[in-house]
Amino acid sequence: MRFHREGRLSILIASLVSIGIILVAYFVFAEYKPFQPIAVGIAAILMVTILQFFRNPRRRPLLMEDVIIAPADGKVVVIEEVEDPEYFQEKVQQISIFMSPINVHINWYPISGKVVYSKYHPGKYLVAWHPKSSTDNERHSIVIEHPSYGKVLAKQIAGAMARRIVNYAKVESDVAQGEEMGFIKFGSRVDILIPLSAKIEVNLDQKTIGGQTILASFQK
């Protein structure tokens, strides 16, 4: 199994903590024999949790110019028309994907094009499915302009457990659909804001596979 580079420090810390727990159990509290297997179990659970969170599966992204692909693994929790106050200043369609702690937390670019906007917003840490998490939580928004189909806004949103959003986008850079856009640590959500003219191709509660599931298609 491969692990993402964003998890190197966390994996190192978890390894040291796990080793410390076992050493304390076997040497400091050596006389408490029943505690030793419990300590090993706690250390194992910690390591498995951290390792599965930062796993980096080999995945071939879907490459289709006229569709918007899911930027994240998770479940569709919102499909609605909204008034976007941050960038578009008009009504757009919003698709929100909730990422639980057991999902892969890599984020992928939903379309190809040029990054025309990138902004980090500090904020709260409401649970990711809260309606106000899109506007009140810590988040990073980018807008990608496709040469034929216009602009799409992707918003990485921190959840109650997340405390760090990583975004690789740089304004004026060209990005390709399915490339890594960033990473969110420990539970989160990704919103996609798309034109009203785009056709939604997913349903509420549908599970998504980042880089592969088609969220919407552009109308020719």
pLDDT digits (tens, 9 = 90+) for 113-159: 999 999 998 866 666 555 565 666 788 999 999 998 999 999 999 86
Q: Distance of CA 191 to CAs 36, 119, 188, 205, 214, Å?
A: 45, 14, 10, 15, 14
**Pair (129, 87) in one structural domain:** yes
pLDDT for res 93? 97
Report if residue 61 sits inside a domain.
no
pLDDT of residue 134: 64
User: What percent of the chain clears pLDDT 90, i.e. is strictly above it?
Assistant: 55
Residue 28 lies in a domain: yes
Query: How many structural domains comprise the chain?
Result: 2
Domain that holds residue 9: 5-53
Neighbours of 127 (CB within 10 A): 13
* Domain stops at, among 16, 31, 53: 53
* Lowest-confidence pick of 15-19, 23-27, 67-71, 176-180: 23-27
What predicted TM-score, i.e. pTM, was given to this entire model? 0.85
Q: Are residues 28 and 74 in the same domain?
A: no
Q: How far apart are CA 54 and CA 51, in angstroms?
A: 5
**181 vs 101, which has greater pLDDT?**
181
Instruction: Clarify whether residues 118 and 22 are in a common domain.
Output: no
pLDDT at 92 over 70: yes
Same domain, residue pair 84 and 176:
yes
Strands (E), the chain: 67-69, 74-83, 91-99, 106-108, 113-121, 139-146, 150-158, 165-167, 174-175, 180-184, 188-194, 199-200, 207-208, 214-217
Query: What per-residue confidence (pLDDT) applies to 107?
Result: 95
Residue 31 has pLDDT above 90, yes or no: no
Query: 9 and 116, same structural domain?
Result: no
Q: Is residue 187 part of a domain?
A: yes
Structural domain includes residue 124 = yes
pLDDT of residue 125: 60
- Quickly count: other Cβ atoms within 10 Å of residue 4's Cβ: 19
Residue 206 placed within a domain:
yes
Indicate whether 96 and 188 sit together in one domain. yes
pLDDT of residue 163: 63
**pLDDT single digits (tens) 37-84:** 888 899 999 998 888 888 888 888 888 889 999 999 999 999 999 999
Tell me: pLDDT of 162 over 60: no
From the candidates 112, 173, 188, 197, give the one annotated as an active-site residue. Answer: 188
Let me know if 149 is exposed, middle or buried by CB neighbors in 10 A (0-12, 13-18, 19+): buried
Note whether residue 48 is domain-resident.
yes
Q: What is the DSSP letter of 108?
A: E
Residue 37 placed within a domain? yes
Same domain, 127 and 83: yes
The CA distance from 77 to 114, in Å, is: 28
Q: How confident is the model at residue 161 (pLDDT cuts 50, 70, 90)?
A: low
**What CATH number is associated with residue 121?**
2.70.70.10
Sign of the Cα pseudo-torsion (209, 210, 211, 213, in order): positive
Q: Is residue 59 part of a domain?
A: no
pLDDT at 124: 65
pLDDT at 2 over 90: no
Average pLDDT over the chain reads 88
Asked if residue 71 and residue 94 are part of one domain, the reply reads yes
Same domain, 115 and 160: yes
The reported pLDDT for the residue numbered 39 is 87
188 catalytic? Reply is: yes
Residues 123 and 168 in one domain: yes
Q: What is the pLDDT of residue 89?
A: 92
Q: Are residues 140 and 84 in the same domain?
A: yes
* pLDDT (0 to 100) of residue 7: 79
Q: Do 88 and 176 sit in the same domain of this protein?
A: yes
Closest to 59 (Cα-Cα) out of 47, 49, 73? 73
